[in-house]
């Protein structure tokens, strides 16, 4: 989602008077606030050599795990107690993508291998593409065609587990739970699932894209 689209969406929500900062939304905001915390603990050993690298790894894992839990919890609470809001629906996917992107960028900077760089680029690129696709489909009144599918949820779980392992095993001298390569394999699998799910969304949206329908055309709502 481009900055102009973000601004337009926020402006539309605020003007509609539907801004509701309820518990699920607070959890989503908390997840966003955890991102700079994760960056700080990730580089804590580099900034203060007295802090063991293993401690920095464990702290980064703990922060990312907490953010991942809030990712599930805010949606569950919103659905269970009917606390959905327009602002929360907008912010939640943004927070999810920021969480994944920041973690992957940190890992690539720490271990700039071609495999990690390519898989991270595939995952982030897919997220940007699908976000743009969903936004466009919403503009033409066809968002239901690109609803979240089971494969999308499964690849998200794979990404989270892979990133947790890679954060834990970031130091090459680790002797406990030497699972870096297992984490890389899981991230590659997640990247494959990312491409698969992205193609599934594109296939579902293709009839609308092929028709050339624009916002404002007959049958499509105004953006």
pLDDT tens-place string over residues 104-121: 999 999 989 899 999 999
What's residue 221's pLDDT? 47
CB neighbour burial string for 130-161, b if at least 16 within 10 angstroms, e if fewer: bbebbbbbebbbbeebbeeeeebeebbebbbb
| Angle, alpha carbons 169-153-119 (nearest 5°) | 45
Report pLDDT for 146: 72
Closest of 192, 190, 191, 168 to residue 179, by C-alpha: 168
> Which CATH number does 19-211 carry?
1.20.120.1760
Arithmetic mean of pLDDT, 182-199: 91
More confident of the two residues 131 and 146: 131
Token pair of 197, please? 């799910």
**Confidence band for 191, pLDDT divided at 50, 70 and 90:** very high
User: pLDDT at position 38, please?
Assistant: 96
Asked whether the beta carbons of 215 and 139 are under 8 A apart, the reply is yes
Q: What is the structure's pLDDT at 5?
A: 58
**pLDDT for 7 beyond 50:** no
pLDDT at 222: 45
Structure token digits, residue 138:
């919403």
Query: Of all residues in the chain, what percent carry a pLDDT higher than 90?
Result: 46
The residue-averaged pLDDT of 116-137 equals 89
Q: Which residues contact 67 (CB under 8 A, 6 or more apart)?
A: 31, 34, 35, 38, 99
Average pLDDT over residues 116-132: 92
Cα(171)–Cα(102) distance, rounded to whole angstroms? 19
The answer, as to whether pTM is greater than 0.85, is no
The two structure tokens encoding residue 199? 């193609």
What confidence score (pLDDT) does residue 208 get? 79
Q: Which residue has the higher pLDDT, 7 or 147?
A: 147
**pLDDT tens-digit readout, 19-53:** 568 899 999 999 999 999 999 999 999 999 999 98
Under DSSP, the state recorded for 70 is: H
Average pLDDT, the chain: 83
User: For 38-95, what is each residue's pLDDT tens digit?
Assistant: 999 999 999 999 999 889 999 999 999 999 999 999 989 988 888 888 788 888 889 9
What mean pLDDT do residues 149-165 have?
Answer: 88
Report pLDDT for 85. Answer: 82
Would you list the domain boundaries of the chain? Answer: 19-211
Would you list the DSSP string of 80-141? HTT---HHHHHHHHHHHHHHHHHHHHHHHHHS--HHHHHHHHHHHHHHHHHHHHHHHHHHTT
């Amino acid at each position: 989602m481009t900055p102009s689209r973000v601004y337009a969406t926020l402006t539309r929500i605020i003007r509609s008077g539907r801004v509701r900062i309820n518990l699920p939304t607070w959890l989503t905001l908390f997840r966003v606030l955890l991102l700079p915390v994760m960056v700080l603990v990730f580089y804590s050993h580099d900034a203060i050599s007295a802090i063991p690298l293993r401690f920095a790894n464990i702290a980064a894992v703990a922060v990312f795990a907490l953010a991942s839990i809030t990712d599930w919890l805010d949606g569950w609470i919103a659905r269970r107690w009917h606390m959905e809001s327009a602002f929360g629906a907008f912010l939640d996917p943004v927070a999810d993508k920021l969480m994944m992107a920041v973690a992957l960028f940190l890992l690539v900077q720490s271990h700039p291998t071609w495999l990690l760089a390519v898989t991270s680029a595939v995952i982030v690129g897919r997220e940007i593409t699908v976000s743009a696709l969903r936004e466009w489909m919403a503009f033409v009144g066809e968002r239901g065609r690109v609803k979240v599918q089971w494969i999308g949820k499964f690849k998200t779980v794979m990404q989270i587990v892979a990133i947790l392992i890679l954060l834990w095993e970031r130091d090459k001298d680790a002797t406990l739970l030497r699972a870096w390569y297992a984490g890389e394999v899981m991230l590659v699998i997640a990247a494959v699932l990312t491409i698969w799910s992205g193609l599934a969304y594109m296939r579902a949206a293709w009839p609308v894209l092929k028709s050339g329908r624009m916002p404002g055309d007959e049958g499509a709502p105004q953006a």
